[in-house]
A = this chain, B = another copy of it.
Amino acid sequence: MKDFFRNMASFLPDSVQKVIDEFSRLPGIGPKSAQRLAMHLLQSPELKINGLAKSIAEVKAGLSFCEKCWNVCHGEICKICDDSERLETQICVVEDILDVVALEKTRQFRGVYHVLHGVLSPVDGIGPDQLKMDALKARIESLANQEVEVIVATNPSLEGETTAMYIVRMLQPLGVRVTRIARGLPAGGDLDYADEVTLTRALQGRSEYV
Tell me the A residues contacting B by CB distance below 8 Å: 7-8, 11-13, 15-16, 18-19, 21-23, 26-29, 33, 35-43, 46, 49-63, 72-74, 96-98, 100-101, 104-105, 117-118
The answer for the CA separation of A63 and B14 in the assembled complex, in Å, is: 10
Q: For residue A18, which residues in chain B have a CB less than 8 angstroms away from its CB? A: 55, 58-59
Q: For residue A33, which residues in chain B have a CB less than 8 angstroms away from its CB? A: 28
The 5 sampled A-B contact pairs (Cβ below 8 Å) are A16-B59, A19-B56, A42-B59, A46-B60, A49-B57
Other contacts beyond A13-B74, A15-B60, A53-B57: 6, CB < 8 A: A12-B72, A15-B58, A18-B59, A22-B56, A28-B36, A49-B60
| CB-CB nearest in chain B for A100 | B11
Q: How many protomers of this protein does the assembly include?
A: 2
The answer for the CA separation of A49 and B26 in the assembled complex, in Å, is: 11
The answer for the CA separation of A105 and B7 in the assembled complex, in Å, is: 9
Central interface residue in A15, A16, A40, A50, by most chain B CB within 10 Å = A15
Q: For residue A63, which residues in chain B have a CB less than 8 angstroms away from its CB? A: 13, 15-16, 42
One of B7, B16, B39, B59 near A41 (C-beta < 8 A): B59
The answer for the CA separation of A49 and B40 in the assembled complex, in Å, is: 20
Q: For residue A28, which residues in chain B have a CB less than 8 angstroms away from its CB? A: 33, 36-37
Q: Are A52 and B22 in contact (CB under 8 A)?
A: yes
Q: Are B26 and A40 in contact (CB under 8 A)?
A: yes
The answer for the CA separation of A119 and B12 in the assembled complex, in Å, is: 21
Q: Are A16 and B72 in contact (CB under 8 A)?
A: yes
